[in-house]
Amino acid sequence: MKHKKKMIYWIVGLVVVASLIFGGNYLYRMQKYKTIVAAIEIAPVDLTQISDGVYTGQFDAVLVGAKTKVTVKSNQITAVELMEHKTELGAKAEKIVDSVVSQQSVQVDAVSGATNSSKVILKSIEKALHSKVSE
């Protein structure tokens, strides 16, 4: 009986310690994510300065990240492909790439209910357009 009680205490103790470790890690990552997302500023892109080509960009905000491929032809964004989108709840932000193409700008409104994912995707597109041609 004593041995069984001791075993239960050990198991409960391990569960508590594991919960504290995982919970603390999640809180740390969440705080870092919030700080990064709050600091995101989407700079306008002058398409007249962008040569024809395919550009890739990525942006990672710990819990949300995006990798995009942007095609430019005749100083116009002709396509945006979302190659990767690491997300928790912001999958509906993926339609923001259509707004970028139709408005020819990264200065578009975020998708309601997926603001942080929208900002991360837009930052990835902005970084792509400021990078060197990848194809």
Residue at 40 is within a domain: no
Distance separating alpha carbons of residues 49 and 46, to the nearest angstrom: 6
pLDDT over 70 (residue 131): yes
pLDDT over 90 (residue 34): yes
- Nearest CA to 89 out of 69, 60, 57, 118 is that of 118
Residue at 2 is within a domain: no
Helix-helix angle 115-129:96-103, to 10 degrees: 50
- Provide the token pair at 66: 């995006």
Calculate mean pLDDT across residues 74-94. 92
Residue at 102 is within a domain: yes
Q: Can you give the pLDDT at residue 135? A: 58
* Residue with token string 């990835």: 124
Residue at 88 is within a domain: yes
Q: Where is pLDDT greater, at 25 or 36? A: 36
Q: How many domains does the chain have?
A: 1
Q: Residue 88's domain spans which residues?
A: 47-130
**Residues 6 or more apart in contact with residue 58 via CB below 8 angstroms:** 65, 66, 67, 68, 84, 124, 127
Rg (the chain; Cα; Å): 21
% of the chain exceeding 70 in pLDDT: 97
